[in-house]
């Protein structure tokens, strides 16, 4: 066998093992994150009303770590896709119009039992039913303009995090 063919085979071999190792690391990383993250959006009403700082303080004080975060604005196509499970609901158009009406803060938050604990922190969908001290109780205006979003399952948290962020947007600290 020629020298160059030998070295070609050895490079291919090394690439194969490198890919395998990276795949195993990636799987371990996503397993570690499962059940530990949620995706939030501080909605246009809360941003416009100057509540970003107070809401982030509540989030930090409740023990959530911000892993990725940005100020951004959803396009109509973004909002339709993000809330596509509600496509057939009568409030869908209003929801899309509201979510595109101004900037939002999107963030990935980490904590044990993240989904359930965060839903508890934000309170019921309708702020009139949200428990005292919850984010929606303190900052939401109405059932449409209800200040904040929280993922409803581990699976959706992964999908929603990938909707807003790339791998390089996440920080460990």
Q: Which stretch binds Mg ion (CB under 5 A): 40-48, 100-108, 109-117, 152-160?
A: 152-160
> What does 95 interact with, of Mg ion, ligand ATP, none (CB < 5 to 8 A by kind)?
ligand ATP
Nearer to ligand ATP, 134 or 146 (CB): 146
Cβ atoms within 10 Å of 121's Cβ, excluding its own: 25
Nearer to Mg ion, 26 or 146 (CB): 146
- Nearest to residue 59, comparing CAs of 140, 150, 131, 125? 150
> What does 66 interact with, of Mg ion, ligand ATP, none (CB < 5 to 8 A by kind)?
none
- Nearest to residue 109, comparing CAs of 55, 46, 28? 55
In whole angstroms, how close is the CB of 66 to ligand ATP at the nearest point? 18
Query: What is the C-alpha separation between 130 and 154, in angstroms, rounded?
Result: 23
Residue appearing with tokens 């770590």? 65
149 tagged catalytic: yes
How many amino acids of this chain bind ligand ATP (CB under 6 A)? 10
- Nearest to residue 55, comparing CAs of 117, 128, 140, 124? 140
Q: Which stretch binds Mg ion (CB under 5 A): 47-55, 94-102, 106-114, 147-155?
A: 147-155
Q: Provide the 8-state DSSP code for 168.
A: G
Q: Which stretch binds Mg ion (CB under 5 A): 49-57, 67-75, 86-94, 149-157?
A: 149-157
Q: Which residues have a catalytic role annotated?
A: 149
């Amino acid at each position: 066998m020629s020298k160059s063919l030998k070295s070609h085979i050895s490079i291919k071999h090394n690439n194969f093992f490198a890919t395998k190792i990276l795949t195993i690391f990636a799987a371990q990383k996503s397993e570690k994150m499962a059940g530990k993250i949620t995706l939030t959006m501080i909605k246009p009403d809360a941003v416009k009303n100057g509540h970003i700082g107070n809401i982030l303080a509540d989030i930090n004080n409740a023990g959530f770590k911000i892993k990725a975060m940005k100020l951004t604005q959803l396009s109509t196509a973004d909002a339709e896709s993000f809330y596509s499970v509600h496509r057939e609901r009568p409030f869908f158009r209003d929801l899309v119009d509201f979510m595109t009406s101004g900037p939002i803060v999107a963030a990935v938050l980490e904590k044990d039992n993240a989904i359930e604990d965060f839903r508890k922190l934000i309170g019921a969908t309708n702020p009139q039913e949200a428990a005292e001290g919850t984010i929606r109780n303190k900052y939401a205006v109405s059932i449409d303009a209800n200040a904040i979003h929280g993922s409803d399952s581990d699976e959706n948290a992964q999908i929603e995090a990938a909707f807003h962020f790339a791998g390089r947007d996440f920080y460990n600290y």
